[in-house]
Structure 1
Amino acid sequence: MIKTIKHFTISSLLYGLLFTSCDLDRLPMEGPSTGNFPANEQEAILGLNGAYQSISTLDAASTPIWHVMDNITDVGYARPGNNYTSPITSSVTTDNALATKPWQYHYRTIARVHLVLDNLSNLETSMDEGSYLQLAAELRFVRAYCYSQLIELYGNVPLLRHAVGLDNADVPRTPKAEIQQFILDEMSEIAEHLPINQSAYGHVRASRIAAYMLKARVALYAKRYAVAAEAAKKGLEYAEGIHDLTSFNATIDVAGKDHRAGEPDVSNIFGHEGYANSAEWIWVAEYSIAAGNTHNRQYYGASRLGKGVCYWGPTQNFIDSFQALDGLPIDESPLYDAQRPFENRDPRLDLYCVRPASRFMGYQFQPQTEHRTVFNYWPVNNGSSSEPSSVTNTDATNAYRSFSGYLWRKHLDLNDFNSTSVSGESELNVGIFRLAELFLIYAEAKIEANELDGSVYSAINKIRQRAHMPPLTEGLTQQQLRSALRYERKIELANDGLRWYDLRRWGIATDVMNGYLYLNRAGNGWSTNTLQYIDENHNPVYNHNEATKHFTTQTVIYKENKDEYWPIPASEMDANKQLIQNPGY
């Protein structure tokens, strides 16, 4: 099995021993008395490593948060239950675990930053100047990232620049715009103190490129397009010769074919191999069994035959969003055939998703009950036979098989199959920033600023060409380029955890998340008139009466002036009387 070198194992273990019983874990906005910590550079580095590791602890259903968020949007679906159905039906409560954990965990990480940062100046004269400035910059980067998440999830939140204790923990909410400016200013101040590249640490530590990318993302979300374009351009300039898009491996040729042709595989980007070798990753969250920092994403995401529980999967809405190979939406392309819907499609459909008649985790994937047995390709994989064997098809009969009829292939690694089970642990890293998103941030900022030059086409086409999709036609209008950009974000960044934010900042959540999600748990076929059209944001619009003959549905509700944000946790409202709850909760 290919494994990324785990860089923080020793320091993370030491940090856990030093601070496990700390008040940080008891009250998210409360920090311990910092005392004399850190007393030296080594302790400061331990504290920094602990802050990085703290980011990776935020999860839901033992799945890193980044791989949860898309499954409460139009592109992904979770097993029905209060934590994941309520966010898509406007019924989140102030004690919903999914909605409250990010507040608690991000403030915990911020407190860990302050544990080091507040006393770091005591070490200024004893440390090399460059090392001191870099250490401070990395701590400020981690803090800024946490705030970038908090303001998108909750809106106005308390901005803490130093540790707070029990005697001064009642801090009012700071306007979102003020925190956005704080983050932009912080990145401007610290970026040049960071190394251009942190590949020696597996990109787990923040680089100069990561700082410019964070600045660009925050500015983009704030609709400050000139700032976003400038920061993204700076990041791309520094990335030249260091980061690059990693080509899909040879299994891209399997896309659009059935299980007999092979198993699509993107582990050279999104698996252990990718985190060890791909130049696409800019910033990564590290997991390590030795450090006791693991997740169970593989188990929750894999098929029943693949030792998983099918917890997450793409919707029919998402599957129908993929263009045909000619670059046209399926309602316009002559290449699309509803009787053979997975042929002649953007290869990322099969590279990122699992659909009927494909191969996944070594097995033929068929959710249809008429397939009582399916092929097991593991005898072929391990060399014990030249032919697959036959097994009972639990992916069609288990009561908790995929609820959407599809599964995510992206962010799972076939190499983890032998260790992924009910008691399995995974130390597969999670990418937070990658070059593909930076290209798309740059392109979107330029489009929204109506600066439609060749660099916009180049940024988008790099991603399309990697996927063997045709380049954009020259001379597009701003609206046409906006549409093209939104397609690429929807498809390329799928299951990376960004769709929830895109729906809100583009102002399309009201349309997309009101009505129905379509699910195909039975793996049914469908007729040509099931789909009415694909809209300008590449969202399918269905003939509902016809669609319900083939698909089941999930009603979704999005209320304006409420569902833009999640509620502040009830426990925080009780502890801090300065807080005012978000509207609608």
Structure 2
Amino acid sequence: MKNIKSIIILLIAGWLSTNCQTDLLETIPNDRISKEIFWQTISDAEFAANAVYPSLDGLGIFAYDGITDLLMTNHPFNANVNIQRGFGTVATGRFFSEWEDSYQGIRRANDFMDNIDRVQYDNASDINRLRGEVMTIRAYHYIKLAMLYGDVPLITTDIDIEGGRNITRTPVSEVWDFVEAELEQAAAWLPYHNNGRIGKGAALGLKARAMLFSGRFSQAAEAAKRVIDDGEHTLYPDYYGLFQYQGQNNSEILLDRQRARDVNAHNIYAILAPWSQIPGSTGSLYVPTQKMIDMYEMINGKSIDDPDSGFDPFNPYENRDPRLAHSVFLTGRTPLPDGGTYGSTPNTDGSDAVQITVYSTATGYNVRKYVANQDYNNPSNSGLNIILLRYAEVLLTYAEAKTELGEIDQSVYDAINAVRERPSVEMPPINMEDGHSQEELRQIIRKERTVELAFEGHRLFDIRRWRIGEEEMPGMPLGMTYVENGELKQVELQGFERSFNSNRDYLWPIPQQERDLNPNLVQNQGW
């Protein structure tokens, strides 16, 4: 009986205790920052905006070019090789990771936008600036998703698990509508120069890119022209230095993924540098093809296949567009970080002779952009920022959009020539007086864009919007030409054939993992 009474007394005491503390079960979690205590100050808002920035692309931009005709994935066991050869499936990891990464970034942005109104502030411009930054990043992800997958779910607020299981794909035209409006509003809120943060130039430049990609040429030209006319961004004079430490945060950069040694480093050097320059590592993950090299004109502005160009196949790197040597390691010419000279000629004892190891270049070339001598001793600790949008692209976007509209005037030529005549490049101008047709100028701009923005993640998207995949992608990649016993020979990647199915490959498939969770996500044609 004593035990029973004791139990009853304890139960009553416990009941009284809990009824006196009506909020006992409404405690604030101590393992994370709760909304109840976080979204209060402008500092909270800035921390939240900062958390969205890491979702921007970094080293992944090289993989976009690495599955095209101008740059190839060099390691035969890398998963991207299956995409190059047309063997990708709905279960391919790359198709899923791009989808997942973008929607994770969008979810972070949506969480910010859903909660920013909780913050108490004195100056609305401070809050709107942060809104503009996050909206720009969200639009960046939707541009990429639209180009990779076409119709995609347009999610602008937080959704629960059940909502995720029932959402459907939004027509891509509506995605472009959203991106256009989102970036226009962001541009209205953002200042131009923003101490490494996203500014007005990024919003307008991305709007120009998005409208060009979607075929809305009038809006593309208008957005690009605003950046040009505002005069806040200029071309950096040193094309090589643009991708080195000395060019960090210069006035040409509209958007980049900011990095820092020892704090937020990456291994771009270890990925791109020649094999000989990566002690104990691999290198040469992505290497240029001969097709890319051949696109660089002679210094006189003529294509190498022009009989009057002066091109000498026995000295193929002489008198070429300076951007070639700035962008690519060329055998016998380019200094290496260790002080030697790049040597890739097959069947020699050169530093990086073709296929001297499974990791050495298979084409005889290596990417020079972003390979900094300062990173030689610690190749996985690079602090170089990865450029995602720069002023040269805006100029070429303006020229292309105006050309597609048939509004070809001197401003179009001025935009092209500003890029060609950059100090350290100084290629001959394209003259309006020569009377180029619309088609001729279209091809000039496309070539200029490919050369200027080489290895910066644009080629995959350009192939898709120009609808040239079936013409440019299939076939065996070719490597360098070289002289052996007085004869000209060429590196061929025997047994490696790129493939492109025009009925399927202009879009990636909706990842199977997503369709397993949500069958409402109808699959793209051919997959």
What code does the residue aligned with 1:285 have?
R
Q: Does 1:499 align with 2:459?
A: yes
Q: Does 1:573 align with 2:515?
A: yes
Q: Give the aligned partner of residue 139 of structure 2.
A: 144
Give the distance between the partners of 2:229 and 2:36, measured in 1 at CA: 42
Q: Give the aligned partner of residue 414 of structure 1.
A: 373
What code does the residue aligned with 1:319 have?
I
Give the distance between the partners of 1:441 and 1:346, measured in 2 at CA: 21
Q: Give the aligned partner of residue 534 of structure 1.
A: none
Q: Give the aligned partner of residue 246 of structure 2.
A: 273
Shift in Å, 1:289: 4.4
Q: 1:574 to 1:456 in 2, by over 3 A?
A: same
Q: 1:39 to 1:577 in 2, by over 3 A?
A: farther
Q: Equivalent of 1:177, from 173, 178, 197?
A: 173
Give the distance between the partners of 2:78 and 2:442, measured in 1 at CA: 35
Superposed CA deviations along residues 45-88 of structure 1, whole A, max 9, x for unmatched, are: 111101012224x6xxxxx1112211111110112235222222
Q: Give the aligned partner of residue 193 of structure 1.
A: 189
Q: Give the aligned partner of residue 156 of structure 1.
A: 151
Q: Equivalent of 1:296, from 267, 273, 278?
A: 267
Partner SS for 1:243? coil
Give the distance between the partners of 1:289 and 1:117, measured in 2 at CA: 31
Shift in Å, 1:429: 0.9
Q: Does 1:402 align with 2:361?
A: yes
Q: 1:341 to 1:157 in 2, by over 3 A?
A: same
Q: Equivalent of 1:310, from 281, 284, 287?
A: 284
Shift in Å, 1:126: 2.8
Shift in Å, 1:551: 2.8
Structure 1 residues 84-483: aligned runs within 5 Å: 84-123=80-119, 126-170=121-165, 171-198=167-194, 200=195, 202=196, 205-238=197-230, 240=231, 242-248=232-238, 266=240, 268-276=241-249, 278-291=250-263, 293-307=264-278, 309-332=283-306, 333-358=308-333, 359-361=335-337, 362-372=339-349, 397-420=356-379, 424-466=380-422, 467-474=425-432, 475-483=435-443
Give the distance between the partners of 2:313 and 2:514, measured in 1 at CA: 51
The size of the alignment, in residue pairs, is 485
Percent identity, aligned pairs only? Answer: 31
RMSD of aligned residue pairs (Cα, Å)? 2.5
Partner SS for 1:90? coil
Partner SS for 1:436? helix
Q: Give the aligned partner of residue 43 of structure 2.
A: 42
Does the 8 A contact of 1:38 with 1:116 survive in 2?
no
> Which runs of no fewer than 5 residues in structure 1 stay unpaired?
1-18, 23-31, 59-63, 250-265, 375-392, 531-546
* Higher Cα radius of gyration: 2
Q: 1:168 to 1:410 in 2, by over 3 A?
A: same
Partner SS for 1:515? coil
Q: 1:559 to 1:395 in 2, by over 3 A?
A: closer
Q: 1:133 to 1:336 in 2, by over 3 A?
A: same
182-191 or 443-452: bigger deviation: 182-191
Partner SS for 2:477? strand
Superposed CA deviations along residues 206-256 of structure 1, whole A, max 9, x for unmatched, are: 211111111111111111111110111012122x1x32111127xxxxxxx
Shift in Å, 1:459: 0.5
Q: TM-score, normalised by structure 1?
A: 0.78
Q: 1:369 to 1:218 in 2, by over 3 A?
A: closer
Q: 1:161 to 1:550 in 2, by over 3 A?
A: closer
Q: Give the aligned partner of residue 14 of structure 2.
A: none
Q: 1:340 to 1:404 in 2, by over 3 A?
A: same
> Which runs of no fewer than 5 residues in structure 2 stay unpaired?
1-28
Give the distance between the partners of 1:94 and 1:82, measured in 2 at CA: 17
Q: 1:568 to 1:373 in 2, by over 3 A?
A: closer
Does the 8 A contact of 1:366 with 1:396 survive in 2?
no
Q: TM-score, normalised by structure 2?
A: 0.87
Q: Give the aligned partner of residue 583 of structure 1.
A: 525
Partner SS for 1:234? helix
